[in-house]
Structure 1
Amino acid sequence: MFLSQSMSRALVPVLGIALAALGAPAATATPATPLAPLYATGVDEVTGRYIVVLKRPDQGGPQVAAEEALAGPLATARAAGGTVRKEFTAALRGFSADLSDEAVTKLRKDPSVAYVQTVRVHQQDVGPAAGGTQPNAPWHLDRIDQRQLPLNNTYNYPDDAAGVRVYVLDSGVRATHTEFEGRAAGVYTAINDGNGTNDCANHGTFVSSHVAGKTYGAAKKASIKAVRILHCNNSASTEEIVDGMNWTAANAVKPAVANMSIQSSGGNTDQAMDDAAKGMVDAGLLLVLIAGNFNKGDCRNSPKDSRAIIMAASTKTDARNTGSNASSYGSCVTAFAPGADVTGAGKDSNSHVLTGWYGTSFSAPLAAGTVALALQKNASLTMAQAKDHIINTATTGALSNIGTGSPNRLLYVESGTPSPNPTVNNPGNQTSTVGTAVSLQIQASDPQNETLTYSASGLPAGLSINASSGLISGTPSAAGTSSVSVTATDPGNNSGSASFTWTVNPVGGGCAPKQLVGNPGFENGTSPWTGDTWTINSFPQQPARTGTRVSWLVGYGYSTTERISQSIAIPSGCTATLSLYLHIDTAETGGVARDSMTVRIGNTTLATYSNLNAAPGYVLRTFNVSAFAGQTVTLTFTGTENSSRQTSFTIDDVALNIS
């Protein structure tokens, strides 16, 4: 979010100057058609080369096939003397072309165009500065199969991911290397230098060996599908990278994992690459990306997508790598994995080994291998489930110096025989009222899919659990707070439990005054907020009302949606009031509501604000939500922006007070 929003603010005055140079229209003239944004950084750009991105159907673009939607803008580009280079129809709708300034302006006037972006060159950092046990394992594998140091020199893995496809978008691969045992193949190249998918830079072969190498890989039998997007000097243009992403979105045989150990120039946002990443996830790929090697916490590296897994790098001492190719960090990071002084396969021969390599490029493929292991067990694994798997299995609290906003999570591969115990989903703390019937379904799963028997201790008087279904029901007969434990047991007497509190309020209330929102001012990381939590941080452009942190939703100047939410239990019989402080600023003009933010409790929309509500400073917004007393509801803030000028919705000091 951060870069795109600051980019939007940089573009607004430029566009204003450009329009002013054309002269002010007469008062009776028809307003000019707004120009699509032109994203240009002036850094590492290919002169005269652009990516033209069209609006998707869900962004107001033509409701036709991609090829048909491209026809008009392609004709415009060619008629204006442009040379079309590549067409994109899968990861995004658009094309790359060599264009004159006149051609760029004509395309920006086309209402089907979302934006035009200069092509940039992105340089990668490289070089030094079925179940089993691998003895004398390299440290990067040894570390991810155990919770704590010291290392024990072995790597225990629960499976080998045989048959799972992992697409590695990188510098190609030496497919004949002994590490891959015939499981690696090149499938596409976006680089036209005569090398095909052969690796002439080492990066791709090294990364692939961390995914699926017999010695260096987390998934020992996965299949590598190399998509070459980097030149021999480990650099590539936006056009070439997006070309490889587009091919993969269109042609990858799914289910499949995709690893992109790719960083953008300066760690700055490249919008076309971000949109292509979104397209890959939309196409069903399980995408693993990197935070980048810039020692920054702004989460601006591209490609990125909030649904993807984004990895940072750790050292042998369980600290964030701050040495050579220092790891970036921040709230966008999913987890850390070893990425300092690591060893892997090289390109120069079938037994070439490289040592002493540093970077997030080499932590990401360990996560990709871990996802491949999970995909072998569950062929219908979704992107959300894959990311949850990395988060839920990670070792927590083991790392130091992780950087502001980063989660203290270290990648973990569950080793040996999976636990035979059932898993009980914790339903969260419950609230009800004396004399009011309740029904709570306990959810549990068993690794062997055996029939489970349910029991509970500590239930409030009047409630009981069905031993066969796990349904808790009844009518509470006495006020008070109980500590409840629910257990699911399989036929072999293996069991799993979950514990929570259950508060029964007397009829007519009995609510003690209390504030229920967790982390209401966003000052303590991001938890328990969920969703697009990279929007929670300290932003110089959007000062906090109190403290230093806020949630800044949208403000990009192009079509997108961001949301944050958290679950809140509102006790029965209470008077409940929701409040928040909201600051809205906008570059929109014309008195039309184009960008919006909604406030929702459960499925009820409490309010919608737009660019028309823009005002200096923070404005207090309050809502009576007493109607939701006795329920556990989800509070959600959603910002939605169209494809023209930016509107920012900044939230601080949220509260839900009961009395």
Structure 2
Amino acid sequence: MRFSTRVTAFIAAAAPFFANAAPFGAEQKANEIIPGKYIVQLKAEANVAEVAAHHDRVRIIYARNLARRGEGGASGAPVEREYGFGEFKAYAATFDDATAEELKGLPEVLSVEPDFIMRTTAFVTQASPPWGLASISSRTVGATSYVYDDCAGKGTFSYVIDTGIRITHNEFEGRAIWGFNAVSGSPNTDNQGHGTHVAGTIGGKTYGVAKKTTIIAVKALTGDTGSASDVFAAFDWTVNDVVSKGRTNTGVINMSLGASASAIWDAAIAAAWKKGVLVVAAAGNDDSLASEMSPGRAPEVICVGNIRINNQRLSGPGGSNYGAAVDIFAAGTNILSADSASDSATKMLNGSSMASPHVAGLVSYLRGLEGPMSAAAVKARVYALGTPNVVTDAKGSVNLLAYNGNK
């Protein structure tokens, strides 16, 4: 059965929010780097014993470098977190620059990058009607109805790596559950609102594309920012959860966050893809090349750009990133969805953070409608259904607008 929900006007209370995605990776801005913190990627073929030996070597190198400077030996192991799924093996650690440089020369090491801040990719704008659902169910500009099949993503799992989710919100009808919290000392809730808003667009009863999907909260950020090491921990848990529970054909990961280009993020996304896990990510809000942003730039990701209600790419301050790395566009300007202030609160946000969950929701919707599909199959289906050549000022991006295929 198809449903048609009339889009009506709402006014949301605006809260402070930040537009730009922060740097992450080999090209980070100096003021975003977390001093003394690093992410180290090891070669895929390293076995358990070799990884343990490497960690011992790191401890020795770090202690020696401190002693050379007269700072005394290091206390404890510098390795703080380990990540591993498929061919991806990495860890987060605390040590000095000299140790980082020395590690780059070890044969078992593929890459060493500073740990640094990652940000959400949304910002507050003025109140306006929530038109995103109408856009994704129509090929006509200015449509005011959301038409969808009542399967609505039933039997699917939508993972939201973000600021957490207010899982008790009325929009989720008990379908939102807590998965993992990567932020030490932070409560299992969303004190910022971004993650709840994103989840509402994916699967809220009113604002969601896939109104019956199960939503899993994975907390990686506090406020609008978080460390790369925390985001990696969240991603590591999520990929392993999808794979271990047999959800590769029914689960999708949304990442409405980003930072500068990172080879380690590229490797992590590629390894997840090889395990059958699909990631949908925001293109970023710098009005610049999306190829300079991670994780969205990875070829395995569905990278989503932001359009206005007239199908024009949002440009200027806070404008959507563009270029060949952008795979598809969706509504991301003036989007109303759930907020974490209360179980009935709503908020209007703007940014590629809001475009990405429209497409993540579409992935879950299509799997509910057409049956479980592999990451490659559902990705191809999203592209095949998209409306071509209707986005103005696409600026070298793939000119495709997300569409749910209803007739």
| Class of the TM-score when normalised by the shorter of the 2 chains | 0.7 to 0.9
Aligned to 2:70: none
* Pairing 1:388–2:380 present: yes
Q: Residue 122 of structure 1 aligns to which amino acid in structure 2?
A: M
Task: Output the CA distance in 1 between the equivalents of 2:147 and 2:29.
Answer: 46
Aligned 8 A contact 2:385 2:402 in 1: yes
Pairwise CA RMSD of aligned residues? 2.1
* 8 Å CA contact retained: 1:148, 1:398: no
Name which of 335, 338, 341 aligns with 1:345.
338
Q: 1:323 Cα deviation (Å)?
A: 5.0
Alignment map for 1:176-191 (pairs within 5 Å): 176-191=168-183
Residue equivalent to 1:84: 79
Does the C-alpha gap of structure 1 residues 48 and 222 become closer, same or farther in structure 2, counting only changes over 3 Å? Answer: same
The answer on 1:354 being equivalent to 2:360 is no
Q: Compute the displacement of 1:317 (Å).
A: 1.1
By relative contact order (CA 8 Å, sep 6+), the higher-ranking structure is: 2
Aligned counterpart, 1:618:
none
Q: TM-score, normalised by structure 1?
A: 0.52
2-side partners of 1:179 and 1:43: how far apart?
A: 38
- 1:169: how far off? 0.6
Q: 1:301 aligns with which of 274, 279, 293?
A: 293
User: Following superposition of structure 1 onto structure 2, how do residues 19-38 of structure 1 map, counting pairs within 5 Å?
Assistant: none
Read off the aligned partner of 1:294 and give its amino acid letter. Answer: D
Residues 408-448 of structure 1: per-residue CA shift (max 9 Å, x gap): 211101226xxxxxxxxxxxxxxxxxxxxxxxxxxxxxxxx
**Residue 369 of structure 2 corresponds to residue 366 of structure 1:** no
Deviation of residue 379 (structure 1)? 4.8
Q: Secondary structure at the match of 1:284?
A: coil
Question: How far apart are 1:87 and its partner, in Å?
Answer: 0.7
Structure 1 unaligned regions, length at least 5: 1-6, 9-37, 130-136, 417-659
> Hey, what does 1:240 align to over in structure 2?
230
Structure 2 unmatched ranges of 5 or more: 1-23, 63-73
User: Is this contact kept in 2: 1:308–1:383, CA < 8 A?
Assistant: no
Q: CA deviation at 1:167?
A: 0.7
1:279 aligns with 2:271: yes
Q: Deviations over 1:156-191 (max 9, x none)?
A: 112311121011111110000000000001110111
Give the corresponding residue for 1:73. 54
What is the identity, as a one-letter code, of the residue corresponding to 1:72?
A
Deviation at 1:76, TM superposition (A): 1.4
- Distance in structure 2 (CA, Å) of the matches to 1:39 and 1:354: 34
Which amino acid counterpart does residue 145 of structure 1 have in structure 2? S
TM-score (norm 2): 0.83
Larger radius of gyration: 1
Q: For the Cα contact (< 8 Å) 2:39–2:90, is it kept in 1?
A: yes
1:222 counterpart = 2:205: no
| Aligned-partner SS, 2:293 | coil
The 1-side partners of 2:207 and 2:301 are apart by 24
Name the structure 2 match of 1:50.
Answer: 38
Q: Letter of the aligned partner of 1:329 in structure 2?
A: Y
Query: How far apart are residue 297 of structure 1 and its match?
Result: 2.4
Given that 1:76 and 1:106 are in contact with CA atoms closer than 8 Å, whether structure 2 keeps it comes out as no
Partner residue, 2:394: 402
Question: 2:257 is paired with a residue of what secondary structure?
Answer: coil
Pairing 1:376–2:364 present = no
The question of whether the paired residues in 2 share the 8 Å contact of 1:125 and 1:325 is answered with: no
Of 88, 99, 105 in structure 1, the residue corresponding to residue 95 of structure 2 is 99
CA distance in 2, matches of 1:362, 1:111: 42
Q: How many residues align?
A: 359
Alignment of 1:401-480 (within 5 A): 401-403=393-395, 405-415=396-406
> What is the aligned-residue identity percentage?
28
Question: In the alignment, is the contact (CA less than 8 A) between 1:188 and 1:244 conserved in 2?
Answer: yes
Deviation string, structure 1 residues 319-364 (Cα, Å, up to 9, x no partner)? 0012552100111111110000110100010000102x11011111
- In 2: Cα distance, 1:280 partner to 1:398 partner: 32
| 3-state SS in 2 of match to 1:227 | strand
The residue aligned with 1:454 is: none
Quote the Cα distance in structure 2 between the aligned partners of 1:371 and 1:314. 19
Of 282-291 and 375-384, more deviation after overlay is shown by 375-384
Larger fraction in helix? 2
What is the distance in 1 between the residues matched to 2:316 and 2:145? 26
Which structure has the highest strand share of the two? 1
Deviations 1:559-582 (A, max 9, x none): xxxxxxxxxxxxxxxxxxxxxxxx
- Compared CA separation, residues 353 and 56, structure 1 to 2 (3 A): same
**Residue correspondence of structure 1 range 149-188 to structure 2 within 5 A:** 149-151=141-143, 153-158=144-149, 159-188=151-180
User: For 1:322-337, what aligned pairs fall within 5 Å after superposition?
Assistant: 322=315, 325-337=318-330
